[in-house]
Structure 1
């Protein structure tokens, strides 16, 4: 989808007032429809009733019902109570309830909340009408303008002040949209007394020409330090090349500046894949606890991820890749950093982030990771008593409370898993399927145990930075134990 934002300048104050009136009625219609949907009424039952109550045509009413239904479904998907939805914004509503806000500050908040609650209008595009019947873009000798249906065969007109977007006139883009004959949706919003329009048209992507058959570029995005790590594989999953794209601009600056740089870095990633003629593998976007993979967890990681706009950057990579006909594969991100650090970082002497990108690329090819023989030897000899000793060592030596708490939790989880598998000498767990995580009994979480058994003894007081120390462990199967 392509969305273009523009402000509207009305030919007359009368036209503006008529548009504000229909925005108010449409917003009320949406709220009314939402409450009736909660009561179990259907679209067909509501349609004629809403037309009579709010004096809106059938298209506007259909769009209001659709919006109300989308809010209801979204609320249910998030597991929230649909009966507690507040149109206009809960945060603003809660501020208005506070007793200490009064005078001009209260009036300002109240005005903003009323605009959000009542200043909305949405009109879907219609292919049979070659665009949009209720809110149509028109072109004359003075430029582009928006014709808004405000009643039975009655229209209000507003000039579209679109500005510029990525070196191209937004007005030129709107002219192209208005003449292409494709349906486009228009949404009007009232902000600080001014009406803004959002034009959205569905983008037609070319057929996929670059696929994983020739290999993959795996992408690992890191909030700290802020960079993109990438690894290129051939069609068999062998490491071909790797690198990093620094992104210092994403940790500061206003939202517009960060948005610009997100697009810029996404272009760099896609250009890299296009030059190498390789598909792109990224982490699946539904990950919940990205803070647990890497150096940070908890509140600090949440703050970093919020400003870092991880999801937004991946979405831009997906869109740009589709425009270039490049296949994008989303993989399960679980344990990519752990596997990369333990297996591939010491093997190829690359950074943990590049190694994680390599694991992502291999998962994109459908390859499964096996635990190396050296590490298997450690797991075979490991027992719960040994982990209990490690736990006591961490309690004595680690001063950082947050790090100590995390390490003790990891050790406790490892002890439970070892006990569930049985700790008799010679009993070897099954090889790990690196692309699917199962229950403890299946042996699919042994990378977590391996991390505790190998990394924690080597670096109990800090996060392991130098992965070269793992190279000897990888080949010998021997790791230093705490005294």
Structure 2
């Protein structure tokens, strides 16, 4: 998606006031629709009722409902309470509640909050209507204008000021969009008393040519140290090459600087995939855990904040890859690091990050991971006393894994199940009957059993110690 920002210059103050009133009604309509969606109302009922209540046409109301639904779904994805969403911004709202802010500072904050809460308008593009029916770009001899529908056959025109001199080509792009009849969405926002328009155009991507037919490149993004690890496979999932890319710029600096470097790193990854003729496999990143306080604070906040940044980076990789006709597959990232560190890091003498990228690539090819035979044999040698010690180690990791104590019973069953595996056909892991225990949780049991004994304090970065156990089946004192 391409987004172009522009400032709107109105011919008269009266025209501006009419548009401000429209934005206020639309914002109220969207908030009202959000409350009704929480109560279980359907789109058709809302669309019929809201037109008369807020004096908006059918398209404006439909767009308000769509935005409300989008906000509701986003809230659920982040794991927050949809009933506690604050339109206008929670951060600004909390600042307004502080008693030590008063006078001009308080007034300024209140204006900003009201602008964010009431100064919005969104209009979707429509291909059948040659662009956008409610907010249409019109090219005239004296400039480029935005025609805004403010009522039945009533329009207000505002001149589009598309940026400073260095961005003078923005207006030319908008003119080309208007002439091509491409569908484009327009969002109006009120900031510091001025109205800004954001034009969004959905990109039409060319047909995919580079697929997973010849293999894939798996991408693993790590918060600390900040780096991208990649691993190339052939069509059978065998490791061919790998690499690592440091990203120190994403750890600090202003927003624009980080955004610039995210694009640069995305270009580098896509360049590698294009040169090697391989598809790209990336992680699906979902940020749900907000911590105990619900504000992303505490021990996990660092990782979560990085996930926001890396989700943006992965989105850019997808966009650039599709422009270059490269297939992009998203996979579940669960336990890719654990599988990589236990199975492939010792085998190929690579870092656990590159090993995780390799697992991601294989998962993108639809390959399943089996527990190595020698790990099974190792678990079978554990005595009752050693199994009890293993369970104690698992209990200590339960808090870190966000598991409830009831899952310990399922972990016990998992250990039993692992010890009973004998034939190779059973090595493809399956869920335990009658439990909610995930297949990937077996790898967590292995991690505690194999890694913890030689590195109890923290997970090491060098897994060469496991090579003898993994390949030759040799181990010392359990």
Range class of TM-score, shorter chain = 0.7 to 0.9
Report the CA distance shift for 1:185/1:464 in structure 2 as closer, same or farther (over 3 A).
Answer: same
Give the 3 Å change call, closer, same or farther, for CA 167–342 of structure 1 in structure 2.
farther
Tell me which residue corresponds to 2:64.
64
Mapped partners of 1:4, 1:76: distance in 2? 29
Cα deviation for residue 378 of structure 1 reads 0.6
Q: Deviations over 1:320-371 (max 9, x none)?
A: 2222221111222122111111211111111111111111111111112222
Unaligned runs of 5+ in 1: 292-296, 396-401
**Correspondence 1:180-191 to 2 at 5 A:** 180-191=180-191
**SS across alignment from 2:31:** helix
Q: 1:211-222 maps to which residues of 2 (within 5 A)?
A: 211-222=211-222
Please give the root-mean-square deviation of Cα atoms over the aligned residues, in Å. Answer: 3.8
**Is 2:145–2:160's contact at 8 Å kept on the other side of the alignment?**
yes
Structure 2 match to 1:128:
128
* 1:353-364 alignment, distance < 5 Å: 353-364=353-364
Select the residue among 434, 443, 455 that pairs with 1:447.
443
Moved more, 445-454 or 53-62: 53-62
Q: 1:113 to 1:467 in 2, by over 3 A?
A: same
**For 1:82 and 1:242, how far apart are their aligned partners in 2?**
43
Asked if 1:456 is matched to 2:452, the reply is yes
| Aligned ranges 1:103-114 → 2 under 5 Å | 103-114=103-114
Give the alignment partner of residue 467 of structure 1, picking from 459, 463, 470. Answer: 463
Q: Which residue of 2 aligns with 1:346?
A: 346
1:151 is displaced (CA, Å) by 3.4
Range moving further from structure 2, 174-183 or 212-221? 174-183
- Counterpart-to-counterpart distance in 1, 2:452 and 2:197: 56
2:296 matched to 1:302? no
1:417 maps to what in 2?
411
Structure 1 residues 213 and 287, CA gap change in structure 2 (3 angstroms): farther
Cα deviation digits, residues 428-479 of structure 1 (max 9, x gap): 5975547x76658787533222222221111223431222222122223233
TM-score, L = length of structure 2: 0.85
Q: 1:423 to 1:43 in 2, by over 3 A?
A: closer
CA-to-aligned-CA distance 1:168-191 (integer Å, 9 cap, x gap): 932232222212212211110101
1:370-425 Cα distance to aligned partner (Å, 9 max, x none): 22232222111124521444688999xxxxxx999859x99998896345543998
Partner of 1:236: 236
With over 3 angstroms needed to count, the CA separation of the structure-2 counterparts of 1:15 and 1:232, relative to structure 1, is: same
Q: CA deviation at 1:13?
A: 2.6
The yes-or-no answer on 1:328 pairing with 2:324 is no
> Deviations for 1:258-307, whole angstroms, at most 9, x for unmatched residues?
1111111111111111111111111123375799xxxxx99444314414
SS at match of 1:456: coil
1:38-63, Cα deviation, whole Å (9 max, x unpaired)? 66665555556544444433332333
Question: After the TM superposition, which of the residue ranges 142-151 and 204-213 deviates more from structure 2?
Answer: 142-151
Query: TM-score, normalization: structure 1?
Result: 0.84
Question: Retained in 1: the 8 A contact 2:185–2:201?
Answer: yes
Once residues 417 and 153 of structure 2 are traced to their aligned partners in structure 1, the CA distance between those partners, rounded to angstroms, is: 81
CA distance in 2, matches of 1:481, 1:260: 52
Checking the alignment, whether the CA contact within 8 Å between 1:223 and 1:305 is kept in structure 2 is no
How far does residue 244 in structure 1 lie from its aligned partner after superposition?
Answer: 1.1
CA distance in 1, matches of 2:475, 2:165: 57
Matched, 1:255 2:249: no
Q: 1:417 to 1:304 in 2, by over 3 A?
A: closer
Cα distance in structure 2, aligned partners of 1:165 and 1:266: 28
CA distance 1:67–1:290, change in 2 (3 Å): closer
Q: Do the aligned residues in 2 keep the contact of 1:287 with 1:333 (CA within 8 Å)?
A: no
CA distance in structure 2 between the aligned counterparts of 1:328 and 1:236, rounded to whole angstroms: 18
Could you say if the C-alpha distance between residues 245 and 437 of structure 1 is closer, same or farther in structure 2, counting changes exceeding 3 Å? farther
CA distance, structure 1, for counterparts of residue 55 and residue 419 of structure 2: 80
1:378 corresponds to: 378
Within a 5 Å distance, the mapping from 1:35-74 to structure 2 comes to 35=35, 47=47, 50-72=50-72
CA distance in 2, matches of 1:157, 1:274: 46
SS in 2 for 1:422: helix
Distance 1:67 1:349, change over 3 A: closer
Q: Structure 2 unaligned runs (5+)?
A: none
Task: Give the distance between the partners of 1:412 and 1:122, measured in 2 at CA.
Answer: 48
Quick check: 274-283 or 41-50, which moved more? 41-50
Report what 1:162 is aligned to. 162
- CA distance in 2 between counterparts of 1:411 and 1:38 reads 33
Checking the alignment, whether the CA contact within 8 Å between 1:394 and 1:460 is kept in structure 2 is no
- Name the CA shift for 1:442/1:478 in 2 (closer, same or farther; >3 Å): farther
Instruction: Pick which of 12-21 and 217-226 moved more.
Output: 12-21
Q: Secondary structure at the match of 1:457?
A: coil
Q: For the Cα contact (< 8 Å) 2:6–2:160, is it kept in 1? A: yes
Q: Which moved more, 1:83-92 or 1:342-351?
A: 83-92
C-alpha displacement at 1:11, in angstroms?
3.1
3-state secondary structure, aligned to 2:453: helix
Instruction: Label 1:168 to 1:263 Cα distance change in 2 as closer, same or farther (>3 A).
Output: farther
1:197-246 CA-partner distances (Å, limit 9, x unpaired): 11112222222211111100011111111111000011111111111121
Shift of 1:114: 0.9
1:257 aligned counterpart, secondary structure: helix
